[in-house]
Amino acid sequence: MKALAFVVIFALFHLISSDSEDVRRLVEERDLLREQVKSLRDEIKLHSSSRDESCDYLQNRIDDLQRTVKAKRDEKDTLKIGIETAKKEMTSLAKCKADKDSTGKYHKSQIRFQGKYHFPVKPIKRAKMEDPETLKSLQEGLPIVITGSNLTSSALRWNIEFLGKELKNQFVRIFVSSNRQFRYHNMKFETTAAYYEWQPPFRIHEGLFQEFIEMTNDFKKADNGSRAYFQYLINELNLTESMDDDFNEFNWNWIHDTVLPATKWGQLKHNLLLVGMNDVSTPVHFDGMENLFSMIYGHKRCILFDPSQYKGLYPFPIHHPHDRQSQVDFDNPNFEMFPRFREVHGYDTILGPGEVLYIPSHWWHYIESERDSMTVSLNFWFYPAWHEKDDQENWKDLVPDAVDQLLVKQEVETLIAESFHPTKVKDVLKEILDKRFDFIEAKRPEKDTVDGE
Ligand SMILES: O=C(O)CCC(=O)C(=O)O
């Protein structure tokens, strides 16, 4: 029995001392255990008068030792996890340091966003305005963040206080939502809205701009999830003289002398001014316009997906009020209904004042405002190069392949909707497919055998 006990003790001892990570601690523990074994031996001598008694005693001591060893092991695992977490934190701190913006005013690590997403993202390329990479990306239709841009530097004073004073008495429309999402909807499809049993996800309040500012303060205080977002085409606003001067001072030369000739985009269609409460999100959608999205105040997290991600983002039907919007709710994705959403992968960036993000036409984009500050941004929407297709023989060459596929799908759906009825698209598509292509699958095994021979 003694021999057995010693074998077990020796094995346990060996188990501890053979684990070589965290060596110093383990050596100390081993010495401690050696001492315990030594005192155990002494104790055994003392108890050897009664064989059964000393067996029980030994068994208890072995159990104790086993428990100690297990506890030490758990402790070591916890230590290992701690070390891993610290390493990750160090890496992300180093990344944040590298992300410090060109003006050196803020660390991106200090900006917090509410959303949590499962899909992988790669960072969107960044370059200065004069860097040849910038124009190359615009020409190739690939997203880029233009850092230290002077496109709208005259508007960098358009913070909330300034806008509150300048636009104070303007009568405007304000978007009001009971949650953080503002999914755009087009009321021109009101007739089909009933068929889809659709309700507007947010309401539109008409009032003075001053009311918008008050609303944001009230909602912040109430902290009940309600949010307000102001989105207005700039030409629909009566800009004050100082705002008008700032607008005229934008770097229009860069647009007209450099961007438009190089990209062949059509003319500027609109500038949309967006003044958002903290923590608002514009759900993922695409626009048919080329977009230079300029950040003026606060920060936004922008996630982009190229047009080929169509399948994973499940756009609403074309005649639905949410045309061009994804059906997937990023804050609460339904993977059962939208299983291909698991496979999407995007590009992301955090955009700060003085930075401009190029969102190519038909690229999906999701935009989220920082959690703790209001934001101001202004976009520049240009017609894409192939917009005037009737005047351009080679317009097809100007359309990137992924956009082309998306346009074809849209055209097929539109044609069916307009020839039959928007509510008939699904049935007509089904009819077109029904049993007409099955012979291809039916033939396939035969073909496989031939190939396999
Ligand atoms: O900033 C936002 O919330 C949305 C902007 C947007 O979707 C756009 O400019 O196309």
Among 286, 188, 172, residue whose Cα is nearest residue 229: 172
Cα–Cα distance measured from residue 65 to residue 30, given in angstroms and rounded to the nearest whole number: 12
pLDDT higher for 223 or 10?
A: 223
**104, part of any domain:** no
Q: What is the per-residue pLDDT for 52? A: 67
Cα–Cα distance measured from residue 6 to residue 17, given in angstroms and rounded to the nearest whole number: 16
**182, part of any domain:** yes
**111, part of any domain:** no
* Statement to judge: residues 58 and 125 lie in one domain: no
Ligand 1 atom at minimal distance to the Cα of residue 300 = 1
CB 313 within 8 A of CB 364: yes
Determine how many CB atoms are found less than 10 A away from the CB of residue 35.
10
**95, part of any domain:** no
Q: Among 367, 370, 374, 378, which is best to mutate for testing ligand 1, by the most ligand atoms less than 8 A from CB?
A: 367
Q: What is the pTM of this model?
A: 0.75
Counted domains in the chain:
3
Instruction: For residue 2, report the phi and psi dihedrals to the nearest 5 degrees.
Output: -60, -45
* Statement to judge: residues 374 and 225 lie in one domain: yes
Ligand 1 atom at minimal distance to the Cα of residue 274 = 1
Distance 44 CA to ligand 1 centre (A): 79
Q: What is the per-residue pLDDT for 77? A: 76
* Statement to judge: residues 131 and 62 lie in one domain: no
Q: What is the per-residue pLDDT for 452? A: 41
Q: What is the mean pLDDT of the chain?
A: 87
Ligand 1 pocket check for 385: Cβ under 6 Å = no
Q: What is the per-residue pLDDT for 174? A: 98
Q: Structure tokens of 171?
A: 């009568």
**87, part of any domain:** no
Query: Last residue of a domain, which of 348, 368, 390?
Result: 390
* Statement to judge: residues 48 and 165 lie in one domain: no
Digit-coded pLDDT (tens) for 396-427: 788 888 898 999 999 999 999 999 999 999 99
Digit-coded pLDDT (tens) for 177-197: 999 999 999 877 777 888 889
Q: How confident is the model at residue 39 (pLDDT cuts 50, 70, 90)?
A: confident
* Statement to judge: residues 66 and 123 lie in one domain: no
* Statement to judge: residues 299 and 207 lie in one domain: yes
Q: What is the per-residue pLDDT for 60? A: 84
Ligand 1 pocket check for 377: Cβ under 6 Å = yes
Digit-coded pLDDT (tens) for 72-110: 887 887 777 777 766 665 655 555 454 544 334 456 678
* Statement to judge: residues 216 and 303 lie in one domain: yes
Cα–Cα distance measured from residue 427 to residue 180, given in angstroms and rounded to the nearest whole number: 35
The enclosing domain of 158 has a CATH number of 2.60.120.10
**78, part of any domain:** no
Ligand 1 pocket check for 291: Cβ under 6 Å = yes
Q: Which residue has the tokens 């969102």?
A: 359
Q: Which range of residues forms the domain containing residue 173?
A: 119-390
**10, part of any domain:** yes
**110, part of any domain:** no
